[in-house]
Amino acid sequence: MKAAIISGTSGLVGMQTLHQLLKNPEYDYVISVGRRKLALKHQKLVQLSGDVLEIDDWNWSEMLVEEDIRGDFQNLKASMESGEVEMHSFCSLGTTIKNAGSQERFRVIDHDMVLAIAKWSKSIGASKFLYVSALGADPNSSVFYNKTKGQVEESLKGLDFGYLGLFRPSLLMGNRNEFRFGEQVATILSKPLVWFKLLKNVRPIYDYQVAKAMVITALQEHTNKVEIIPSGQIQDISK
């Protein structure tokens, strides 16, 4: 049995990844983790919600029982308790400093919450963790956003997953629920790079490409425990 854990489903890549996982026959169950439940029903979708920073205190076994109105998740619960399920965790949790309201709040979401989910995923048996980082992630960067992303990557490496995939997409294109003027301008100006297939690692990339590449990568065998996947490679994988 295979199960996927997914966080960050309110974002571009997260929602696309959720759709990819739900339609993929390799995964028997998809466990969505977040502050709120999604307005979505699916026979293999399990939704666990609460304060993500307190996720270590969640009684996931009881929460599964509460979600299991029709008895659909009994096999999942038993397999998780016995350690007989293969689990992959997908995380695209993140925000912007503008939306967060401050650098401190941004760090809570993009660093603390990501690590909380990663540690919890590892504690319940996830063998693989696939994380949407960013182009330019560098723990020594002078840019706060890039520095935070880089620090998250370094912290994730210390958790010793069987496989850690760090995806670094460039500017993301897709249908956002919010309008970001700067990103819209950048997308328009860089569209020719997409049309003429230039500068693969920096040209914009679609949300569904990142999602597809993550799922494909998770289902592969790996010789390296840690892998950084730049935007150009993400596009190649998702073809």
Q: Where residue 220 falls among pLDDT bands split at 50, 70, 90?
A: very high
The pLDDT value given to residue 16: 96
Look at strands 45-49 and 86-91 and give their pairing: unpaired
Q: Which residue has the higher pLDDT, 32 or 183?
A: 32
- Please compute the mean of the pLDDT values over residues 161-166 and round it to a whole number: 98
Q: Which residue has the higher pLDDT, 200 or 152?
A: 152
Closest by alpha carbon to 133, among 91, 174, 96?
A: 91
pLDDT surpasses 90 at 132: yes
End-to-end CA distance of the chain: 27
Q: Where do the DSSP E strands lie in the chain?
A: 2-7, 29-34, 45-49, 86-91, 126-132, 163-168, 172-173, 205-206, 226-230
Question: For residue 50, with 0-12 CB atoms within 10 Å meaning exposed, 13-18 middle and 19 or more buried, which class applies?
Answer: middle
pLDDT digits (tens, 9 = 90+) for 46-103: 999 999 999 999 999 999 988 887 788 999 999 999 999 999 999 999 998 888 999 9
Lowest-confidence pick of 93-97, 100-104, 148-152, 174-178? 174-178
- Structure tokens that stand for 137 in this block: 């992630």
The set of residues, in sequence order, having a beta carbon less than 8 Å from that of 81 and lying 6+ positions away, is 61
pLDDT surpasses 90 at 178: no
Residues 239 and 237: their CA atoms lie apart, in Å, by 6
The domain limits of the chain are 2-172+205-237
The set of residues, in sequence order, having a beta carbon less than 8 Å from that of 104 and lying 6+ positions away, is none
- Please compute the mean of the pLDDT values over residues 199-205 and round it to a whole number: 79
pLDDT surpasses 80 at 171: yes
SS3 201: coil
- Please compute the mean of the pLDDT values over residues 104-111 and round it to a whole number: 96
pLDDT surpasses 90 at 202: no
The pLDDT value given to residue 71: 81
Give the CA count within 13 Å in the CB-facing half-sphere of 191: 8
- Please compute the mean of the pLDDT values over residues 130-144 and round it to a whole number: 96
Residues 233 and 200: their CA atoms lie apart, in Å, by 8
The reported pTM is 0.89
Handedness of CA 199, 205, 209, 214 (dihedral sign): positive
CATH: 3.40.1160.10, 3.40.50.720, 3.40.50.300, 3.30.70.3420. Which one for 2-172+205-237? Answer: 3.40.50.720
